[in-house]
Amino acid sequence: MQLTQKHEEYWRKNLIVTGILLTIWFVVTFVGGWYSKELNSISILGFPLGFYNAAQGSLIIYVALIWFYQHYMNKLDIEYGVNEGEDE
Amino acid sequence: MSQSDAAFSHKSFFGQLKKYYFFYTLGFLGFVIALAVAEQMGMSRKWIGYWFLFATIGLYAAIGIMSRTVDAAEYYVAGRRVPAFFNGMATGADWMSAASFIGMAGTLYLSGFDGLAFVMGWTGGYCLVAFLLAPYLRKFGQFTIPDFLGERYGGNIVRSIGIFAAILVSFTYVVAQIYGVGLITSRFTGLEFGVGVFVGLGGILVCSFLGGMRAVTWTQVAQYLILIIAYLTPVIWLSLKHTGNPIPQIAYGQVLQKVTEREKVLTVDPKEIEVRGILKGRADAANAALKDPAAAYAKGRADVEKKFADVKASNAPAEQIAAAEKAVAAYPKDEAAAKAQWNKDKGLAARAAPPRPHATPFHGAGKTEEEKQKASDIARRNFLGIVFCMMIGTAALPHILMRYYTTPSVRQARQSVFWSLFFIFLLYFTAPALAVLAKYDIYHFLVGSSFASLPAWAATWAAVDPTLLSITDFNKDGIVQLAEIVIGGDIIVLATPEIAGLPYVVSGLVAAGGLAAALSTADGLLLTIANALSHDLYYKMIDPHASTTKRVTVSKILLVVVALAAAYVTSLKPGDILFLVGAAFSLAASAFFPALVLGVFWKRANKWGAISGMIAGLAVCMYYMFTTYPFFGGVPANQWFNMTPITAGVFGVPIGMATLIVVSLLTPAPSRQVQELVEHVRYPNLTGDITTQAT
């Protein structure tokens, strides 16, 4: 099995999108978590922001990240011709 | 089957499932309404409990019987036909255990912000599952996680370590689940704990025994629907009651502000300070007495006797004499009894602190600013440590990863992680709201009520189970102070229906939901253990020529054996559920995560790297737990950077990963064949591709 240039490009794009999404994940979780005390001085929807991020905000972002990933990758598969046969 | 046929059948299958589960949900709601009517007509609480218990377990058993199978692909991966949406629901039920359903809101009530580490950890981990593992495992398409390790790294050593780790992790976790099953069954039906365990076990076994993954999947979908209805109903009601807004997640911001205000009031309230003073005094006295127990015992005895003699001699009123006489009678019989009492009193010191501010992160207690800062820094480190271990652990638990083998395609595996997190999110998003709403109720209505007329729910629970709620009038003023209340976390979810003023039928519904959560997780875990033994150990390593029927039969027998072993260990009550669960995550993270992820993303990772990396990660993690957790004889003084035992993965994961990389680089690169395998899993579809899918 020989991988073509197109295949290499597909994988590179996959790595880039994975990297970006993981960076957002990391910032929301660990940077946001580390500065929770400082964030608490800001108020959002009646919540202190640090608390809101840990209890709700980060969860919403996780769901959104995964939705974006599946949407992007499933389109990328078709674009690069590595998609499977129709399964639905 | 041609491709268009397959497409057609998947589509109609999905449509059918939607129809079935829609009517199922309607039927279940009808059942609850019928019981509500029966309650109004005078059905007793005990019978409502029995109806929920036996109807739901009967239902799961029926699904199990309908899905029975001896076909290997059906038994191990539900025929790889589970649509993304339903696999998401099944994963949700598989994932959310008794700890999530019953324990989570209680943990948040007790530890405020710091408890949110579990909320973040147990949801954010799905990002790692989605981006790093699920689609690749689905493309690889075999039956178990050791399958992937064995194929990717070659040889039976890696597979064996995988089997060992999968069993260790799942067994630790399953004990916690069976414990939860016993607890719920016994509490809501009055059956004994041991009997409760075996009734629940029967429900678990019928399902997984007859139909393996296929039966477990379709039961888990049914269980998810019950557990989410059960969780959301009382919280929505409570939110409506306190805020007039039926969406608790939005409404509780206002409530949180009120709770924070109330905390400030209670911190400086003179009555509260008085009670805290009494508690502190008792703890101090106990500490002093424990320094020289013999002398303290003799002095205490002499004191009460002297008091009795004095009041008698001074002709005091009769009730004073009676009280002094009672004090003499109540004095501990011997030094050992007195010591036990002092050791108990020592613990009162913990309750002598002002209420913990709910929304404040990393609350550190201490006498000086410097001490507070130091405690707060340790709390912050542990918060992030728990988040890290729970997230990486999520992306390494075999019973969860295994679920992504069951979708029809890579494409649906990706969608399925989205649905999984979405369905899990519904509960985790609600738990922090529930904790705050319950706190509001307790701080405003229970605190300040008189002992003569406690709110009905508090009176009932305090009478039923003092470990969940006990209130003692320390300052004898007849009014409840916050410092006089001791709450066990589990009560938050269990008592919410009553706090919200809902009929008992909703309490039964909550119990059924908790049972569904515990049973579904136990099902998935038992199946993982049985498969590791029957598929990975027996078929792949001992008898590769075994027929399909024989393999499935072996798996079924092992399932029963493992279930009985787990029930036996549970009956020994090996302690803290939260520790068991946390330990399972740290162990899984250290053993599996580096080998799985680098196996996909780094072609250079080889057999020796994986072997040494997995052993190093697991060894560091286990060593840390053994030296720091009291149950194994460890002491907190052995901790590194003051990290608690459940965060052992913080050390295990990086060490495992570094070892894997270094050893791989020092040994020869993997063969061309292995590199082709890696390329194969990276692309959902390649022309001239190899096949790895097992049937």
Portion 67-86 of A in contact with B at CB < 8 A: 67, 69-70, 73-74, 77, 82-86
Reported as a pLDDT band with limits 50, 70 and 90, residue A88 is: very low
Considering only the C-alpha atoms of chain B, give the largest distance between any 2 of them, rounded to a whole number of Å.
Answer: 105
Strand partners of residue A43: A48
Burial of residue B465 (number of CB atoms within 10 Å: 0-12, 13-18, 19+)? middle
Round to whole Å and give the CA distance between B357 and B481: 17
pLDDT at A32 over 70: yes
User: What's the confidence (pLDDT) of residue B421?
Assistant: 96
Instruction: Tell me the Ramachandran region of residue B597: left when phi exceeds 0, alpha when psi lies from -120 to 50, beta otherwise.
Output: alpha
User: What's the confidence (pLDDT) of residue B1?
Assistant: 37
A-chain CB neighbours of B132 within 8 Å are 18
pLDDT tens for each residue of B614-657 = 999 999 999 999 898 877 777 888 888 889 888 999 999 999 99
DSSP character for B479? B
Between chains, do B7 and A85 touch, taking CB under 8 Å as contact? yes
Q: Is B230:B319 a contact under the CB 8 Å cutoff? A: no
Round to whole Å and give the CA distance between B249 and B227: 18
The C-alpha of B457 sits at a distance from chain A's nearest C-alpha, in angstroms, of 28
B-chain CB neighbours of A10 within 8 Å are 683
Positive or negative CA dihedral for B107, B108, B113, B118?
positive
B-chain CB neighbours of A56 within 8 Å are 249, 429, 432
The C-alpha of A54 sits at a distance from chain B's nearest C-alpha, in angstroms, of 6
Top residue of A28, A31, A49, A66 to mutate, by most chain B CBs within 10 Å, is A66
3 state DSSP class of B54: helix
The C-alpha of B679 sits at a distance from chain A's nearest C-alpha, in angstroms, of 8
User: What's the confidence (pLDDT) of residue B542?
Assistant: 87
Between chains, do A59 and B428 touch, taking CB under 8 Å as contact? yes
List the one residue out of A76, A41, A56 whose CA is nearest residue B436: A56
User: What's the confidence (pLDDT) of residue B416?
Assistant: 96
pLDDT at B358 over 60: yes
For residue A46, give the chain B residue with the closest CA.
Answer: B253
User: What's the confidence (pLDDT) of residue B2?
Assistant: 39
B-chain CB neighbours of A25 within 8 Å are 124, 127
pTM of the model: 0.90
List Cβ neighbours of B437 (8 Å cut-off, separation of 6 or more). Answer: B235, B238, B239, B242, B248, B252, B255
The C-alpha of A60 sits at a distance from chain B's nearest C-alpha, in angstroms, of 8
Measured from the Cβ of residue B688, the count of other Cβ atoms closer than 10 Å reads 6
Measured from the Cβ of residue A49, the count of other Cβ atoms closer than 10 Å reads 19
Round to whole Å and give the CA distance between B361 and B436: 15
List the structure tokens of B33.
């309404």
User: What's the confidence (pLDDT) of residue B268?
Assistant: 92
Across B466-488, average pLDDT = 88
Burial profile B355-378: b = 16 or more Cβ within 10 angstroms, e = fewer:
beebbbbbbbeeeeeeeeeebbeb
DSSP per residue, B131-198: IIIHHHHHHH--S-HHHHHHHHH-SHHHHHHHHHHHHHHHHHHHHHHHHHHHHHHHHHH---HHHHHH
pLDDT tens for each residue of B165-200 = 999 999 888 888 888 887 777 777 777 777 878 877
List the one residue out of B365, B347, B348 whose CA is nearest residue B356: B365
The C-alpha of A70 sits at a distance from chain B's nearest C-alpha, in angstroms, of 5
Across B507-512, average pLDDT = 90
Q: What is chain B's length? A: 695
Between chains, do A36 and B411 touch, taking CB under 8 Å as contact? no
Please report which residue ranges of B314-430 form alpha helices under DSSP H. 318-330, 335-346, 369-394, 398-401, 410-428
Kindly indicate whether the ipTM for this predicted assembly is greater than 0.90, answering yes or no: yes
Between chains, do A34 and B384 touch, taking CB under 8 Å as contact? yes
Look at B57-61, B264-268, B316-320 and tell me which has the smallest mean pLDDT.
B316-320
Top residue of A13, A43, A51, A80 to mutate, by most chain B CBs within 10 Å, is A51
Q: Which residue has better confidence, B289 or B126?
A: B126
For residue B133, give the chain A residue with the closest CA.
Answer: A18
DSSP character for B473? -
Reported as a pLDDT band with limits 50, 70 and 90, residue B135 is: very high
- Pick from A10, A47, A66: which is nearest to B130 by CB? A66
Measured from the Cβ of residue B623, the count of other Cβ atoms closer than 10 Å reads 15
List Cβ neighbours of A31 (8 Å cut-off, separation of 6 or more). Answer: none
pLDDT at B519 over 70: yes
List the structure tokens of B498.
């009553």
Burial of residue A9 (number of CB atoms within 10 Å: 0-12, 13-18, 19+)? exposed
Count the alpha carbons within 13 Å of B224 in the hemisphere toward its beta carbon: 28
Q: Is B693:B141 a contact under the CB 8 Å cutoff? A: yes
Could you report how far apart the first and last alpha carbons of chain B are, in Å?
15
Between chains, do B408 and A87 touch, taking CB under 8 Å as contact? yes
User: What's the confidence (pLDDT) of residue B399?
Assistant: 93
DSSP per residue, A17-74: HHHHHHHHHHIIIIIHHHTHHHHTTSEETTEEHHHHIIIIIHHHHHHHHHHHHHHHHH
**Rounded (5°) CA angle B635-B639-B645:** 80
Q: Is B402:B144 a contact under the CB 8 Å cutoff? A: yes
Helix axis angle, B248-268 to B431-441, nearest 10°: 40
Measured from the Cβ of residue B113, the count of other Cβ atoms closer than 10 Å reads 26
**Rounded (5°) CA angle B492-B493-B498:** 85
